[in-house]
Structure 1
């Protein structure tokens, strides 16, 4: 059999390699402490799961759900957004339900790119951003994120020859994996840049609520209030612990929403109405569980960083997200994949190698704060034994 060339860039995946390494560690009898995946161990709130459960006995909810059947959810999303960011949203033309934000970032390139067009992506960045471009037969121009620039791209570095073929730019702040927050001033600059070069501005926004201290995560539409070039993707996976329910939505320029809706209509229907009911309860109901999540993650962050500091691994305190982005010590500073593979093989502690997020992620590893503090401290003990045998 012969397969499409667009699959070639997708054949190698360091996270699949890490999955094999974890399986091998378990088979050897090691207890695996998995800090490689951003899947929180916290449950969805009762008022969310109750709303889903109540739909199960309603047999009218058991069939296909088309766009117009999602009206209540789209209204709840628009109301939630308007309340949070003071930007008006039309639920009919500017909101689209999604199976998580990853569906949006992976499928939008099919609506925007022609074969050979460039997409400007953050490097390091979330893997589905590049995957969607490859599936659309586009080209990627990586925008390096460096610590000295606050992990923000330098837009002036993008070559004019690339811009002549570029159709979209993808941002995502608070950022996975670096944990950086982009200030509103940067978004204003990015909007002006995309307007000048006729680019679609995509903002993946899953960690908007997971910010610490006095930090604020702005929306792209606080910089592009008229929604001239932008689309923003949200998920209920992080804020509301609904990762397994696969529910998110897009808000954006009506033409972009319409184009993404056309792609979605060719691929799938919407989720079960009960899940949408749960999402409505999440967005419109009490937000105490969101605040609780942030407090729990802040405690885990502080515990983990203090434990790393005690063994001599100094890392900066992240202002947001559920991750620690740590520069590797010598002699591992240029081989994050080998470090991650050897670490899980010897200790059972699994981390995400920075190289899995792009060329400029090399030299780092990402720790996900997805376990209770005592387990995180146990993981650091294993790391210490590996680094200093």
Structure 2
């Protein structure tokens, strides 16, 4: 049996690799503490769940849902965006429901890239950003993110020969995995750069609310209010703890929204109407659960950073996201995959290797703060024992 060559680029995935390692450790009798996946363990707000539950008994919600049936959700998303960022949004032409923002980042390259075209991606970066480019037959030019540059790309370093073949740039701040944030000035620079080189600017924005210090993160459309080159992806997975409901949306340039809608029409209809009803309740109702989520992850961050310091692992305190991005102790700094696979095999503690997010991620690991403080403290005790036994 022969398969398409495009699958070759998708043969390795950081989450799939760690899933296999976790399964092996569990089969050997280890109790798993899974800090490898950014899937929130916090509950969806009751007022959201109640709306979804009420929808179940309404048989009018049980059929296929086409684009025009999503109007109320699109209006709620546009209203939320206007109130949050003071940018006018047309819900008819500038908003598109998605099955999570990952659908958007994976499918948009199909609408932009011809085979051989380049996309500019952050390194390290979220794996689905690269996967979408590979599915479209595109090529990737990575923009290294370095601690000394505050994990921001340097646009001037991109060769002109690459830019001549490039169609899109993908950014994502607050950033997964490095936890870095970006200012409005940075996005204005990015918009100017994309206008100069005729690039589509894609901004993946799942951690819009998970910020613990400083100003709230800006939207890329605040830097591109005319929506000349930009599209942004939101998800309700993080702010509203609705990861399993798979609901998000794209917002921005009307031509890009139309093109993504054409791709989406081939792949699926939309989510169940009841899920969209719940999402409307989340966006338009009380936001107290969002602040509670932020407070919970801040408490976990502080607990975990302190616990790491107590075992001699000094890590910068992140100002955003639900992760800790930690430079590995020597001599593990050139082999994050070995560190993570051996750690889970010996202790049951699962974390994500930095190399799984890109070449520039080597030497780091990512901890997801998806467990209660007492579990995070237990994890650090197991890590300390592991480091001692391995002479670190």
Q: Tell whether 2:103 aligns with 1:103.
A: yes
RMSD, aligned α-carbons? 0.6
Counterpart-to-counterpart distance in 1, 2:95 and 2:296 = 31
Aligned positions, number: 389
Question: Is residue 215–residue 319 contact of structure 1 (8 Å, CA) maintained in 2?
Answer: no
Instruction: Determine the C-alpha separation between the residues in 2 that align with 1:32 and 1:255.
Output: 46
Structure 2 residue runs of 5 or longer lacking an equivalent are none
Structure 2 residue aligned with 1:71: 71
* Range with bigger deviation, 95-104 or 207-216: 207-216
Identify the residue that residue 353 of structure 2 maps to in structure 1.
Answer: 353
Q: How does 1:3-82 map to 2 (within 5 A)?
A: 3-82=3-82
Report the CA distance between 1:216 and its aligned residue.
Answer: 1.9
Which aligned segments of 4 or more residues in structure 1 are displaced greater than 4 angstroms? none
TM-score by length of 2: 0.99
Structure 1 residues 115-151: Cα deviation after superposition (integer angstroms, max 9, x where no partner): 0000000000000000000000000000000000000
Q: How far has the Cα of 1:19 moved from its partner?
A: 1.0
SS class of match (2:275): helix
Number of the residue aligned with 2:289: 289
Alignment partners' CA distance in 2, 1:164 and 1:30: 52
TM superposition shift of 1:51: 0.6
**Match in the other structure for 1:88:** 88
Q: Secondary structure at the match of 2:324?
A: strand
Asked whether the equivalents of residues 56 and 274 of structure 1 are also in contact (C-alpha less than 8 Å), the reply is yes
Deviation at 1:283, TM superposition (A): 0.1
TM-score (norm 1): 0.99
1:325-336 alignment to 2 at 5 Å?
Answer: 325-336=325-336
How far 1:214 moved relative to its partner? 2.6
Residue correspondence of structure 1 range 205-354 to structure 2 within 5 A: 205-354=205-354
SS of alignment partner, residue 228 of structure 2: coil
Residue 27 (structure 1) shift: 1.1
Cα shift readout 1:327-349 (whole Å, capped 9, x = no counterpart): 00011010000000000011000
Q: Which residue of 2 aligns with 1:165?
A: 165
- Secondary structure of 1:140 counterpart: strand
Q: d(CA) in 1 for partners of 2:18 and 2:225? A: 42
Contact 1:14–1:337 at 8 Å: present in 2 too?
A: no
**Stretches of structure 1 lacking an aligned partner (at least 5 in a row):** none
Contact 1:146 1:152 survives alignment (8 Å): yes
The CA distance in 2 between the partners of 1:18 and 1:56, in whole Å, is 36
